Structures are given as structure tokens and as C-alpha cells.
Structure 1
Amino acid sequence: MLQLYAGHKVGVASGQSSVDSHSSSRLADEDPWSSSVPLLKRFERYGDLADLQRAITLLQKLVRSVSIWDDLYCAVLGNLGVALLWRFKHIGELSDLEDGISTHRDAVHLTPDGHPDKPSRLNNLGNSFMTRFKRLGELRDLEDGISTHRDAVHLTPDGHPDKPSGLNNLGNSFMTRFLHLGELRDLEDGISTHRDAVHLTPDGHPDKPSGLNNLGNSFITRFERLGELRDLEDGISTHRDAVHLTPDGHPDKPRRLNNLGNSFITRFKHLGELRDLEDAISTHRDAVHLTPDGHPDKPSGLSNLGNSFMTRFKRLGELRDLEDGISTHRDAVHLTPDGHPDKPSRLNNLGLSFRARFEHLGELRDLEDGISTHRDAVHLTPDGHPDKPSRLNNLGSSFITRFEHLGELRDLEDGISTHRDAVHLTPDGHPGKPSGLNNLGNSFITRFERLGELRDLEDGISTHRDAVHLTPDGHPDKPSGLNNLGSSFMTRFERLGELRDLEDGISTHRDAVHLTPDGHPDKPSRLNNLGLSFITRFERLGELRDLEDGISTHRDAVHLTPDGHPDKPSGLNNLGNSFITRFERLGELRDLEDGISTHRDAVHLTPDGHPDKPSRLNNLGNSFMTRFLRLGELRDLEDAISTHRDAVHLTPDGHPDKPSSLSNFGNSFMTRFLRLGELRDLEDAISTHREAVHLTPDGHPHKPSRLNNLGNSFRARFKRLGELRDLEDAISTHRDAVHLTPDGHPHKPSGLNNLGLSFRARFDRLGELRDLEDAISTHRDAVLASSVSGSRVISRTQFPCIRILLLLPLAISA
């Protein structure tokens, strides 16, 4: 999970486009010029589009009536260009953007070198280039913007009152190029230039807050790139100053509150202090409240407020925040005109909110709405746009989520393809590169778990390694990358059985937990993964210390997850499994009861329709089965079968978890057959295990265990009915299971043991000495494999007892 929400904005919105108040003694007070300037200023204050439209009409009339040689002509062009850019940002018509740039070009071209207004007109032209870059993503516009802003600064004499304004715009341009190309030089130049702008602006000057606002954005951006807490604190402090120095009623007050609120969110995500989250929501509410209805900045404030609600939902799990987040994002999208450059960003945030609700409530409608909304966001983002990769990332993650819910391979392929595109479009050195690699790595691992191709597993680990390597130490995303890399190591261990991967997985998960601050919303999920790693090592090596560490870590994860949080059931599920594992090791009935109780809670707290409901039912069913095998109460056996039936029924055809559910269901039938002797249960077990094997792709890490279960079922039917065909099928199936299990894998001894039992059964039936030799040889291999893998299935001390084992009645091995 990976997750991707709108952050701090730099550029034209934070820069200063000059409205020229030039007056001429030859024009009366009621002429178009003197009427247009107040209209523009009023629009800037209240956002009433009618004022802007009227001003543009007046200025266009003036352009046609004033001589090109009149000094007023360039001033009119300058204001008309500003007005057209404002209308573009309000309505999104590309023609306004092009006309604005053309008008500013003319104003610059007609202004003689040395003219005092030349720098301000270059500034406006530079801002226009930057606006077009943000809309269309053409690198030429970015370079032209920086070059034009440099010229404006260069032509402004030191000590001139407009020098700070020009520096501000140049700093914003550097920051925009950094966000697009990832060159650290641009980030440092942006901060240095913004510092100069603030330093040159006298205290008490009305532009001081604007400079502080831009400097604060630059500090936050450097924190997000390098992870230095000093930058985060400086960013918040600077934004506080900007807000404090902006008078109530000032048109930029809401925008500066928005940036301060975003800074609080950034600190919350890094340090996990709930106070920052509450401050962010409060600050964003103020920003929305102070922005008049109809103002072009209203959707931006709503979008930030929606992101804050979603962040609080992820932390506390309150459904009210989820609903408020979606509602607020809907309003932001609705109020953003088609064609507006920020429409894709707001659609992207709405899509993330739909997916979060799907993951909480399991309604397929939300998942479909999320994919549709993300598609629109990608479609509306021009090729070359700096945000194209992040929007592709979110679309790819939505495809993967739908695959995990419905099992359609098309979604998996679309997810990987989309994530590949996102990584490919992100320049090397860009701060978003590690995030894209993380998502691509997760997609490879998901395909491996579905299809079993080792190439995908290796690609997943390699991609996750790259993501970690490219994330600087101290960066807030470092723990997320480590968490994903640790999970990849664990997946390879489960496939190949190499102890090195197990140790690397635990070590990496430890680092992820250690680097995640207390109170951080992802702390519980990272503890969960560390706990799973401890349990896996216990199952491999049998050290009780790992089992205790696993339970303790899972307890911490559950304790840190608030009641009502959507991740609570997942933590309970893992804790329940840990209790059952300890019961199987120590035999304490208390652990068995705690396991069942905890699994019941996990199922109860998982909404109907949630994609994880079947897997949690599976674990509850397994717990009932464990209690039946311990106490022999038929009620538990019936509950296990019923619960496993529900798990299979709720798992869509094609879903990657379908074979697992069928395998557990088949084991339940088999157990009831062994208890009650009903042939119907044996037939159902074979049929169900056949289907589980059939649906498991070749190369899948669980293929051998499912073949083992099917082979045991064949052998049981041979024992019951005496059909040699079943015994031959059992031997063939067990051979396949052994062949597909890598040497050193902890399940190798169990598979060899089952194959040996099948050979022994055929020897008892046909008397062929070859089968007896094969049985002895296979059991010997099982003992040797057990010593190599560290498996507790067959211990070294059992080796002298193999000949006695061969004289005992056959048993069905799990």
C-alpha cells in the first residue's frame, strides 16, 4: 500500500503576476482602462467570474483602440495577458492560455530595453510559460519559463522594490523543474532564491507573506526529498509566519492556510502525532471557510480538506471521515471546470478515496468507480506532464486491487503494464522514482503468487531493492520500501526455502519497524509483517523464542490499531494464527480457545463483501478443525466444513485465493471421512483437491502441498475400496509433489514421507520388492532432508525407527 494524496504547490499560484495600474491623463475616470483595473482586483479578491469577463472585454476593446506606439498599449497587453491566464486557471480553456502567452510575448517585445516595466512583463511571460508547462508538460516551456524569469531578475536593479517578486518567481520555476526532473541542484537553487527574496523584502511589506509561503513550500519539498527533519520544522515555522503576517480578509489568506495545513499533514505522516492531523484538518477547514463560493481556489481548498479527512480515516478508522473525504473530493471535482489543469489531480484524489472505501467496506461499486476515476485522471493528464507517472501509479494499483478481488488475469497484466509506464516516465533522480518502483515490485510479486513464475519473484526483489537504494536515509518513505523488500524476501523463502532469505526478511522488517515513528499510521501493518516473519522462522527452525516474539509483535499491532479501523481485522487474523501455532507447539488449550475467539472477532469485524472475508473465514475454519482434532467434538468438525464452504462460496472464480480455499475445504471433507467413514466425504475431498490442484498454476509455491493433499486422498480411497488405479494415482501425484519442491525447502521431508507411505502401500498390495526399497530410500531421504532444512516434520532421531514404521498400519499424513 503503497498510498498517493495533493501536496504543496509551487509555481504561478504562489508567484506574482503583475496587474498594471498605469494611468493616463488623457483618459477619463470612466474609460475602459480605469474601469478594468478595479474589476481585476475585485476578481482577485472574490473570484467572481463576471468581473473577470467584463475586464477582459474592456481590455480587448482597448487593444483595438489604443495606438501600438502609445505607452499605454503595452500596459493594456500586460493586464489582458494576466486576465486571460486567470480565466484559463478558472475555466481551463486552452485558447486562453495560448492567447495569454501570445499577449505577454507582444508586451515584452514592444517594451524597449531599459524600460522600467520590462522586468515585470518578463515575469508575467515567465509565469505564463510555467502555467503552460503544468498543463501540457512540454519541457521547452519549463526551460523558457526559467530563462525568462532569469532575465527578469537580471534586469531588475539591486534595491528595486520588484527584485524580491522576480526572485520569488524564479525560485518557483527552479522548484517546478526539480519536481519534474529530480535534479537536486534545482532544489537547492530554489531554496536559495526564495531565501534571497524573503531577505530583500522589508518587514511589514505586503509581499513578505508571499515570499515566506514560497520558502516554506521549498523547505517541505526538500524534506520530502531528503528526509531531514530540520527542513520539515523550518517549513512549518515559515508557513506559520506567512499565515500570521497575512491580514484577515486578504485574498491569499486561504491559500496560505492550505499550505500550512499540508505541512501539518506531512509532519503527521512522518512523526505520527495526532495533534498535527487535527491541526491540519482545522487549518484546511478555515481555508475552505474563508474562500468565497465561486472563487477559483475553492476546489483546491476542498481537495486538501478531503485529503486530510482521508488521512485521519487511515489513522483512526472512523467511517465518518471516509464519507466526509469522498463527499469533499466530489465537491472539489464538481466545482472544477472541464479542461481545468487541476481537474486530473482532483479526480486522482477522488479515485483514491473510492478505493479506500472499497478496501474498508468491500463494495465492488467503489472499486469500479475508483478505476473509472483514475482512468479519467490519466486520460486528462497530457503526455510529458510531471504528474503523469503518479496518476499511472494509482491507476495501476487500482487494477491490482481489482485483480486481488476478482482474479481476472487481465487486471494483473494491466496493473504491471501501467506501473511499468509510470516508472519509465519518471526521470532518474526524481523523488517519485522509488514510489513507482515499489508499486511495480509489488505487482511482480502479485503475479508470482498467481502464476508461480520465478522470474517475477526475482524481478520483484530486484525492483524493491532499487526502490530502497534510491530512497535517502531518513526519508519518510524509507520504512515503506523496506517493508515491501522484507515481504519479497519472505515470499522467496516460502518458494525456495533458502534460510538466507528468511533472515534477510526478518532483518529488513525489523528495520522498517524501527524507522517508523510511534503513532505513525503504518506502524501496526509493519509490526504485523515482522510478526509473520517471526512465526515463519519458528515453523522452519522450531525456536520457541521466535514464536513468542511473533505473538508479542502481533499483540502490539492489534493494540496500536484503533477499534473500528479497517486494518483491525487483519491484525486479529494474524494474532489468531499465532495463537493456533503456539497451541500446536505446546498444546495449551488456552491458546486454542484464544485463537478461535480472535479469528471469530476478525471475521465479525470484516464487512460482508470485503475481499478479505473469505481468507478470514478460511482461518476460522482451520481453527475449528484444530480444536476438533484436539477434543473430538463433532460440532467443531461441522463448523469447520460450514465455514470453509462459505469461504469457497465467497471467493470469485479465477481469484488467486480460490485454490487455497478449496484445499482447506477438501481437508475438512477428508477429516470427516476419517471420523465418520462416509464415502461421500471421500469423493468430495478428492473432487475438491483435484480442483485446487487444477487451479494452481505450474510453478506456484503451493502447488506441491496441494498435490500432496490430493495424493493422500487417492491413497485413502485405495485403502477403502482397493482400486489399484487410486494407488497408482497417489504415487504419481506424490512424485510430482516431491519433484516440484526445491531441495532445502521445509516441506520437502513431508512430501517425501507421503511418497514413501504410498510406495509401502503398493508393496503391501503387490509384494514387489522394488516398492519396499523405494519406500525405505524415500523415508531415508525424508530424514536427511529434514536435517538439511531444519524441518520439524521428521526429526533425525526417527531415522532408526523407519523399519518399525514400515510394519505399522498406514496412516494418512497431513
Structure 2
Amino acid sequence: MEDLVMAIVYSRGGLTCPPPILAVALTAHEHVATSSYLRFELLGQGHDIADAVEITRRALDLTRPGDDFRPWVLQKYILYLETHYQYFGQSKYLDDAENRCREFIRLCPNGHLHHALASQTLGSHLLMRFQSHNNPDFLEEAISLCETSLRLQSPGDINRHAPLKSLAVATRLRFEMRKEEADIQRSIEYGEEALDLCRSGSTPYDSAGPLHTLGVSYMRRFEHCGEVDDLEKALQHCLDAVPLLGSSAFLTLGNMLTIYRSRYYRLQDPNDLLEAEKCGLQALDKSPKGDPGKFMTFANLAGVMADLFEHFGKMEYLENAISHGRQSLSLCPPSHPEENLPTMNLALMLSARFELFGEENDMIESNRLSTRALSLCPSGHPKRERCLRTAMVCSMRSWSQTRDIIYLERAIRYARDALPLYSAGSIDHCKSQEYLGTLLHDRFLQSRQRSDLEESIQLQQAAVALCPESSYDHGMFQANLGTALSELFEISDDRTDLDAAIAHYSKANQTISPTHPSRPTLESGLALAYLKITPTSETLVPVAFYLLQSASNNPSANSHTQFNAALRWVRAARAHKHPSMIKAFSRLLALLELRLLTKETVEAQQEFLREIPFRLLASEAAASAIEDGRLDTAIELLEQGRTMLWSRMRGYRHPIDDLRAVNTSLADQFRTASAELEHTALALQQRFTVFPPTSINSPSQVSNIQIDSRLRDHRILSENWTRILNDIREVDGFADFLRTPSLSTLRAVASEGPVILVNVAQGRCDAIIIHQDSSPHLVPLPESTTALFDHLTTQLWDSSGSEHAHRVKQLTVVLRELWRAVVHPVVEALLSLKVELTSRIWWCPTAQLCALPVHAAGPYTAGQRNLPDLFVSSYTPTLNALMTARAGVLQAPNSFPRLLIIGQPQTLPMVEPEIEGIRTIDNFADVLLGAQATSDAVLSELRTHSWIHFACHGSRRHAEPFKSAFELHDGNQVTVLDIARANLPCAEFAFLSACHTAAPDIGTPDEFITLAAALQFAGFRGVVSTFWDMADEDGPQTSRDFYSYMLRRTTVAESRDAAMALNLAVRSMRKRNVPLYRWVNFIHIGI
């Protein structure tokens, strides 16, 4: 390098006083320009290539059109202009180069000694122009000129090397555009001749260039014809080129990446993908600074990472793929003709992540990117079909998650547009047929139009026939065809259709590796086909359910795929009343927990639970266990599958004193990981606006990277927490740490009175009474149905804004139906179990029943008693929630708790009388009133008070239940999330004299996402709350009656008295003839 610098310095000295002799002057200029060019190739500094251009331009100015030296200088000048353009993309350099090429050929017309060289120079330049501008006219003229140059030189002539090299590339590019097989054959022939010329020793060129070019050409012929021999030749040529190229091997290594990737698709050997990854990383390492093609290496490496994710299912591969994809797009020069590739790559990767995690931003960005790719490749563009396929996949994945038919129709349109663009019989053509066939099958499942299914089968049969059996895709094509034929059997009832389906599944079973992530889809499809055989085969049924179980437990597949397989297992087991049903439900619930762990926030988790196919999964699982006579299992399944969001959050705060006593390090790790996950889970759901990036530092790119980073950090956190949890369970005595308690543990919940689990499922409804003096007692509820509870829920909530008489009438109907269908059979059972009248009972409803006032049910007929006259009712979301609440109660309560009252009299005139009424009973209560009650002040005071009383508006957010809130002064709010995040060490009891504080989210009723539930999670053992809107005038008297009982003793006050206090306050309301809907509104939750 030092010698090169000195050469430039000394040569520049010669330019200050140019010699009078032209040849000498031109030589001096040539020395400086050449040295600057060489230094640019080493260091990639823009000023060096700019100097080479400028100095050679000056040299050109020293010559005249007729000078013998001018063609020689023109040739150098063209090289430097083209190099400058390749690296910095300024079109003026390319335009100048073309003008100089055409001048060169004018100076050397046909018959001139250098006409072959001039033709080759212009042909080579036009080839570059085609690669930059994609104008077919440039390519045709380039081929014509290079063929002219070649004809002018006899075989074996050293000068044939350049046109052979250009023609090998140009004919390959024309093949890529026209798909005419003769072109790729010519490309290989030109390349082989160039290689022979190099190997003959008659040229100063080494074999590296032709070897690289042949590698690409053989690869293209493989892609077209599918002959593995071409793939092997392509790889061997590249392997031979790499050692010859040394540090310049980055392009060939990039090509090897593509070859290994293609061989993986054909032979399904994951080692090929790992080799491809190595080649990509080496290519990046060897790529010179400023390399304009570096973005393509990133793009191809991103594709390999995506394939590694598909094969191994490790999320970090997909994360790396997206990261490389973004880097590729940010490095791509503006208006680059290959911008479509990184754009398509990133679109596909983001859509894959969307399919897994349902991150809406991924769907939006992937569809925008695929649309952008289509605009970059208009009709007639050689990559139009690939862009259409990308847009189709993105739309298809959007459809699979959102079930919005618009996406499915769009995907079908893209697939139809792409199909005729592929050469008939090519691998890409058969893939395109398969895609369209699969989409039409999906549309058939929605529309039940037989024509869609028949066309789907025709297309998939053609794809299977065309696809080589050794191909990566062949097995999945067979499996998909089996699925379609199995559906046809459902319509036709023609056994030959089913036999054909099973035959295709069986072939796929032989092809797809047991460790392949798509294996569960195949196994469950084959199992369902076996189960359609009638009469049911005694030998095939066990095989079918073995396959379903295997599919649901395949460690190579991600939790999304396993979940779908387990869902099929559950449905099949129920339909066939198979003994594996309970095991299937247990696996599905376990996978649901894993799926939830992939969602960052509780809001995202709740949205996911709303969308799953089996929304009342735990109830259906319990119903199956009840049907099987396994009440203990039913209870445990209900505990496992309900209030999953609060249970996980409670797990993060699980006491670890016992663990710390035996393993301090593990306890610390658990506490740290749990705190981090809880912080993430209870953060506000972030929604970014996403746009295709314009540069690495653009706001949209930064926002997109934030999303990637956020998702990656959450995955690492979750995996770390799971690892720590598994380590804890290996410690002696901690095998059941954070597992769902067994019934033997849960029975303690009835120590202070019976707990009634009411399970609501499609096929049956039952109550299970857990009583401390006996085994769980089953009370079948034959009059209860999900349809009844749906009707009652609608009737109840639709009447909430009605006028007084109508509302009372509707509520009375609801309460009578609840008595008839649920409560009366339970009361009869309680009495038979010798449960004393007026004693306490706890209701644990499920599904739609969570939204209905079971506590107030009754015949509402003169002379007959209603439930509030018989027992004192409380609610609990789960058995474990009640046990946890009891476990935290102080053994020796303080004489009097610290009571905090929060009130907003500005909007509720009766708040001040309500507060004054309470203070007449407890003069030491602290009050935050009006402007004092900001959200910060309230949350701060909650930490130091054991009892709280809210007297304000409560708002219910149906679409976003975690944003339901207590409305405070001047727009301040305390939301469900705020309460859940709070650390409240003194929490004991809360009275919520506000609207809707226990109103459930209808979409996920079993999750109990309410203000009351948030307070219970935060540590409050008991909560009095409301189902619907509360009358302002009920606050003062109800509160006074309630606290009169709670604080009736002068020495102690216990939160355990809250249920009885509320029962007495409600009786007082009834005696005063307060309308039914006003007193039914109040409920008690907890101890």
C-alpha cells in the first residue's frame, strides 16, 4: 500500500508540467489514474475512483478524434466511469460511458483492427445498462455486439475471452427474461469455452471468472429443468473458483449460498442450509467496503435464515432473517433494479412472524412491502411472477390469522396472475399450481362451492405429477392433495376418493422427515383420513390417535403448529368418544399456555384468547372429564385453563422464601426474570405505524427495528424464565412449583363453606360442589344450556338502559331462569349435604354464566324464598384465587384497619353524603376528594391503606378491558393495568361504589378482566363491586349499612365479614323497596 501511495504522489508530480510528447503525457496520466483505481479497489474510497475518472478525462482532452491513442484512452475512461456508477449509482457516469463506447465503435468501424474490441466494449457496457435499467433493447444489442466481436476472432484466440465472458452472462440474463432453454444452453457453452481458454494457458486470465459464471448458469438451468446434476456442477465450479479468487471471492460465495439452499430444497439435508449460512457470512466478511452488491448478500442470507427457521423452528433464526432483511433493504441504493428482492424477502419474513404471533404491525408492513415489490416489477418484468407469489403468500397468511375473506380473494387473484408467467413444466410452475390449489381449497371450506374443490384437486394433481419425488416440496404437495381428496370424500361419499387421499398421505409420510416442522400437519391429516373409513377399522383407530398424539407433541414444530394439531386431536377424540380425549384436552391447554407466553403484554394475550377456535376450552375439557366420571380431573382442568392471564401474573409474584432457603441463586434468578416479564406483560400495548423504510436511520426503519427488538427481547426473557422454572422443578421438594394444584390441595378451599363450580359447555352443564366433609359432589344441570345462557345474557344486558318497569321485568325473568336451570338443583344438593341455611357459600361460574347474577337467583314468587334468603353468596374466579386470598390474611388482625375513601363529588352529587355517612362510623378514615384524587395520589395512598372505598364513576371498555378505569378528577384515571402494576403490601379489602366494576368481558369471560379482579390480583382479599351501572342515591345508605356491620365492634374489624355485611345492606335495600336491578347489582368477591 505504501508503494502505491508513493506511486500516486510521484505520478501526480508529472502532471503539473505535462511533457510535450503526447505519448509520454498520456502515460503519466495513465499511471496516476491506474494507481488511483487500484487504491480504490483496495480501500473503496470514493475520491480515488473520482480522481481516476477526472485524470483520464484530462488525458482524453489531450487527444483528438484521429489520434491513434484515443481508443486506448477511451477504453480506460469507460472502465472508470462504469466502476464509479457501479459503486455510487450516479446516472451521468453511465450516460457518459455509453457515449464514449459509441465513439469508440465509430473510431473503429467494421474492418478496423480494433473493431472486435470496440464491439465488445460497447456490448459489455450495454449489458451493464440492461442490468441497471432492465431495458430488453440494451440486452439484445449487447448480445449482437459481443457475437460480432466473437466472430471476428478465431477459436483459441486470447481475445475471445472477453466476448465469451459477456455472452455467457448476457444469454443467461435473456434466459431469465424469456425462459427459452436455448439461451441457457448457449450461456453454458460460452462459459465452458471461456474456461477451456483459461485452462489452456494461452491467456493471462485465470479460471476464476468463467468458473463463477458457469456456477450461476448451471444453477439457472437446474432451476428450470430440475436436474440435480446441474446443481452439483454449479457447486463444483464455485468451489473451484473460491481459492483462485482469495479475498475477492465474495460474489462466488454468495452464489454458493444460493446453490446450497437449492440443494436443501431438493434433498432436504439441513447441513446444506448450514453450509449456505457459512457461505453468506464469509461473503459478507470478504465483501469490500462500499460494495454496492452487499445488500444482495444480506438479502440471500436472510432467506437462508428464514429456511433454517422453517426447518429447525428456532425463533432466533427468524429474528436474524428479519434483521438481515432490514439491513439489505436499507443498503439497497435508491431505484436499484434489484430492490424488489430484499423487499420481497422482508415481506415474506414479516408475514411468517405474523402467522406465528399475530403481531398486527407485521401484517401491515408485510402487505405494504409486497405491494411495493409489485410496483417495482410491473407487467413484463422478469421477476413479476415472483413478486406476485410473494404478495400471494403475504395475503394468504393474513387470511389465515384474520379470517378476512378479502385477503383470501386477493391471494387467489395473485396466484392466478402468476401461474401463466411460469414456463409450463418448470418447478416454479408446479409450485404455482400447488399454491393456487391450496387457496381454492381454503375458499371451498368457506363457501362449500364444489367447483373450487374440484379445481383445487386438478391443480394439486398436476403439481404432484410435475414435482420430482426427491424435491423438498413433493411430500407437502402429496399431503395437501390428500387433504383435498379427503374433503371431496365428505361430499361424494365415494370410497375411491378416500383411498386416494390416504395413498397420497402415505407417500408424504415416507418423504417428510419425522423432525420436519410440517410433520404434525401431515400426521394429523392422515389420522383424520383414517377415521373417515366406515365402518371404523379396529386396527386403524389406534393408529390414527397415535398419529394425532404424535403431531401434538412433536418438538421440532413450533407451539402454533402443535396447537393446531392438538385442536384436531381434541375434535377427533370427542367425535369418536376416544379414551385419549382428556389427554388431548390437557395437551391443548398446556400448548395454550405456551402460546400465551409468546405474547408480550396481557392485552395481547387477552386479544389472542378472544380469537382462538375453542374459546371455552377449559369448560369443554372439564365436561369431557365429567362425562368420563373423573370429577377430580374436571376440577383440575378448570383451574388450569381459566384466569390464565391473572394466574401467570400471580406466578411471577409467587412467594419464594422456601426456595431461597435451599437455593438462593435460583430464587434470585426467578425473582429477577419474573419481575422483567411482569413489567413487560403489564406495559401498555404499543402500536406502531409501520412503513417501508427509506434508509437505516429513517423514522419508519427505527420504528420497525424497535418492534423487532421488542419481540426478540421478550422471546429471550420468556425462554430464560421457562428454563429457570424447569431448574426449580428439579430441586428436591419443588417438583410441583407453579403447577396447577391437585384436587387434594384444592379441597382446602371449602374449609369455610362449600364452593360451587358451575361448568358450562356445549354438550352438558354441571355443578360440582366442593365440601370439606365429602368428595366432590356432582349436580347435573339438564335444564342448562349454552344457548339459554347466551339468551339470558343478551336479555339482561340489553335491558340495562331500559325504563324502570321493563328492566325489572326482564331481570325477574333472568333470575327465575337461573333458579330453575342452575341454582335450585344446587340448593337442593346443598341441603342434602347438611349445609346450614344462612351460611356462606362461594360460586365459581364459568363461561357465559360469569356475566349473570347467580347470587340473586330465585323463584320471585310470593311465599317462596330466593337464594339471598337462604345463603350468603360470594364469588371467586377460581379455587386457587380464593385459597391465595385466605393464605394472606393476618392471623391476628389489627384493631382497626386504615380506611381510604376516594370520592368525586363534582359529577356525583351523592358522594359527599356517602363519605359523611362512612365518617360518622369511622371518623379516622382518610379521604381523597375531588382535585386531591389524582391517579398518582390514589396509587400512592393505596400502598399504605388496608381498606379502600371508591365513590366515583367506573368506566367499562368492552374492546380493551384492561383500560377499564375509575374516573377521577379532571380526566385522571386509575385503570385495571395501573392497579395490576401496583405494589400494595397492605391490601386487605375494597368497596367499589362505582359502576361496572365487576362487569365481565364477554369475549373472554373466564379471564375476569375487571376492576374488581385487578384489585384481588393486587392483594385485596375481598372486594364488594357492581355488575352494571349504579344509582348515585344508593351509595350513602348502602355504605352506611355496610360499614355499620363491618365496624360494629370497637376492638377489631375483619374483612371476612364483608359478605355478611353486604347481605345485610342488600336486605335493607329490599325492605325499602329499592328496585330489583339496583340491589342485585352488588356482589362480593373473595374471602
TM norm structure 1: 0.72
Q: Does 1:291 align with 2:195?
A: no
Q: Does 1:348 align with 2:254?
A: yes
Counterpart code for 1:427: P
Aligned mate of 1:557, from 452, 463, 470: 463
Residue aligning to 1:32: none
**Residues in 2 aligned to 1:236 and 1:562: alpha-carbon distance in whole angstroms:** 34
Q: Note the C-alpha offset of 1:566.
A: 4.2
More strand by share: 2
**Residues in 2 aligned to 1:220 and 1:540: alpha-carbon distance in whole angstroms:** 50
**Residues in 1 aligned to 2:285 and 2:26: alpha-carbon distance in whole angstroms:** 37
Counterpart code for 1:640: A
Counterpart code for 2:526: S
Q: Does 1:577 align with 2:483?
A: yes
Q: Describe the superposition over 1:675-730 as per-residue Cα deviations: whole angstroms up to 9, x where unpaired.
A: 4743xx23431233234323333469897137677764443223212538738957
**Residues in 2 aligned to 1:708 and 1:260: alpha-carbon distance in whole angstroms:** 66
Residue aligning to 1:623: 526
Counterpart code for 1:690: L
TM alignment of 1:287-326, pairs within 5 A: 287-292=194-199, 296-326=205-235
**Residues in 1 aligned to 2:176 and 2:493: alpha-carbon distance in whole angstroms:** 42
Structure 1 residues not aligned, in runs of 5+: 1-93, 738-754, 781-805, 807-814
Question: Contact 2:765/2:785 (CA < 8 Å) preserved in 1?
Answer: no
**Residues in 2 aligned to 1:246 and 1:555: alpha-carbon distance in whole angstroms:** 52
Q: Name the larger-Rg structure.
A: 2
Aligned mate of 1:112, from 9, 15, 19: 19
Q: Does 1:686 align with 2:686?
A: no
Counterpart code for 2:447: L
Question: Contact 2:766/2:780 (CA < 8 Å) preserved in 1?
Answer: yes
Residue aligning to 1:232: 139
Structure 2 residues not aligned, in runs of 5+: 646-758, 768-778, 796-820, 822-1087
Which deviates further from its counterpart, 131-140 or 381-390?
131-140
**Residues in 2 aligned to 1:707 and 1:99: alpha-carbon distance in whole angstroms:** 77
Q: Does 1:273 align with 2:180?
A: yes
Aligned mate of 2:541, from 633, 637, 640: 637
Counterpart code for 1:374: G
Q: Note the C-alpha offset of 1:386.
A: 0.9
Q: Secondary structure at the match of 1:721?
A: coil
Question: Contact 2:760/2:785 (CA < 8 Å) preserved in 1?
Answer: no
Q: Does 1:660 align with 2:561?
A: yes
Question: Contact 1:317/1:566 (CA < 8 Å) preserved in 2?
Answer: no
Residue aligning to 1:28: none
Aligned mate of 2:315, from 409, 429, 446: 409
Aligned mate of 1:471, from 370, 377, 398: 377
Residue aligning to 2:634: 726
**Residues in 2 aligned to 1:109 and 1:521: alpha-carbon distance in whole angstroms:** 63
Q: Describe the superposition over 1:737-795 as per-residue Cα deviations: whole angstroms up to 9, x where unpaired.
A: 9xxxxxxxxxxxxxxxxx98538534893468695532457999xxxxxxxxxxxxxxx
Counterpart code for 2:402: L
Question: Contact 1:618/1:647 (CA < 8 Å) preserved in 2?
Answer: yes
Q: Does 1:251 align with 2:158?
A: yes
Residue aligning to 1:77: none
Q: Note the C-alpha offset of 1:647.
A: 5.2
Counterpart code for 2:360: L
Q: Does 1:375 align with 2:281?
A: yes
Which deviates further from its counterpart, 266-275 or 702-711?
702-711
Aligned mate of 1:328, from 237, 261, 267: 237
**Residues in 2 aligned to 1:630 and 1:357: alpha-carbon distance in whole angstroms:** 39
Distance 1:201 1:110, change over 3 A: same
Q: Secondary structure at the match of 1:203?
A: coil
**Residues in 2 aligned to 1:489 and 1:370: alpha-carbon distance in whole angstroms:** 29
Counterpart code for 2:762: S
TM alignment of 1:13-92, pairs within 5 A: none
Question: Contact 2:120/2:162 (CA < 8 Å) preserved in 1?
Answer: no
Q: Describe the superposition over 1:622-671 as per-residue Cα deviations: whole angstroms up to 9, x where unpaired.
A: 1342242242223333443454566567652xx43x54246425644764
**Residues in 1 aligned to 2:435 and 2:353: alpha-carbon distance in whole angstroms:** 20
Which deviates further from its counterpart, 297-306 or 113-122?
113-122
Counterpart code for 1:408: K
Q: Note the C-alpha offset of 1:332.
A: 0.9
**Residues in 2 aligned to 1:634 and 1:500: alpha-carbon distance in whole angstroms:** 44
**Residues in 2 aligned to 1:600 and 1:480: alpha-carbon distance in whole angstroms:** 31
Q: Note the C-alpha offset of 1:475.
A: 1.9
Question: Contact 1:135/1:385 (CA < 8 Å) preserved in 2?
Answer: no
**Residues in 2 aligned to 1:663 and 1:520: alpha-carbon distance in whole angstroms:** 33
Q: Note the C-alpha offset of 1:483.
A: 1.4
Q: Secondary structure at the match of 1:291?
A: helix
Question: Contact 1:617/1:646 (CA < 8 Å) preserved in 2?
Answer: yes
Residue aligning to 1:422: 328
Residue aligning to 2:1019: none
Q: Note the C-alpha offset of 1:378.
A: 0.5
Q: Does 1:220 align with 2:132?
A: no
- Relative contact order (C-alpha < 8 Å, sep 6+): which is higher? 1
Aligned mate of 1:497, from 386, 403, 412: 403
Distance 1:522 1:223, change over 3 A: farther
Which deviates further from its counterpart, 425-434 or 143-152?
143-152
Counterpart code for 1:664: A
Question: Contact 2:219/2:259 (CA < 8 Å) preserved in 1?
Answer: yes
Residue aligning to 1:773: 788
Counterpart code for 1:370: A
Q: Does 1:201 align with 2:216?
A: no
Residue aligning to 1:18: none
Counterpart code for 2:271: R
Question: Contact 2:256/2:279 (CA < 8 Å) preserved in 1?
Answer: yes
**Residues in 2 aligned to 1:517 and 1:663: alpha-carbon distance in whole angstroms:** 36
Which deviates further from its counterpart, 414-423 or 107-116?
107-116
**Residues in 1 aligned to 2:391 and 2:98: alpha-carbon distance in whole angstroms:** 33
**Residues in 2 aligned to 1:520 and 1:670: alpha-carbon distance in whole angstroms:** 39
Question: Contact 1:314/1:565 (CA < 8 Å) preserved in 2?
Answer: no
Residue aligning to 1:16: none
Q: Note the C-alpha offset of 1:604.
A: 3.4
More helix by share: 1
**Residues in 1 aligned to 2:421 and 2:30: alpha-carbon distance in whole angstroms:** 44
Distance 1:674 1:343, change over 3 A: same
Q: Secondary structure at the match of 2:532?
A: helix
Q: Note the C-alpha offset of 1:375.
A: 1.0
Q: Note the C-alpha offset of 1:415.
A: 1.7
Q: Secondary structure at the match of 2:765?
A: helix
TM alignment of 1:745-764, pairs within 5 A: 757-758=761-762, 761-762=765-766
Distance 1:130 1:669, change over 3 A: same
Aligned mate of 1:546, from 448, 452, 460: 452
**Residues in 1 aligned to 2:200 and 2:243: alpha-carbon distance in whole angstroms:** 13
**Residues in 2 aligned to 1:113 and 1:577: alpha-carbon distance in whole angstroms:** 85
Q: Note the C-alpha offset of 1:590.
A: 2.8
Question: Contact 1:647/1:661 (CA < 8 Å) preserved in 2?
Answer: yes
Question: Contact 1:502/1:537 (CA < 8 Å) preserved in 2?
Answer: yes
Q: Note the C-alpha offset of 1:424.
A: 1.1
Distance 1:663 1:543, change over 3 A: closer
Residue aligning to 1:144: 51
**Residues in 1 aligned to 2:476 and 2:37: alpha-carbon distance in whole angstroms:** 46
Q: Note the C-alpha offset of 1:484.
A: 0.6
Aligned residue pairs: how many?
660
Distance 1:333 1:546, change over 3 A: same
Note the aligned Cα RMSD (angstroms): 3.7
**Residues in 2 aligned to 1:95 and 1:343: alpha-carbon distance in whole angstroms:** 25
**Residues in 2 aligned to 1:180 and 1:439: alpha-carbon distance in whole angstroms:** 23
Question: Contact 2:344/2:373 (CA < 8 Å) preserved in 1?
Answer: yes
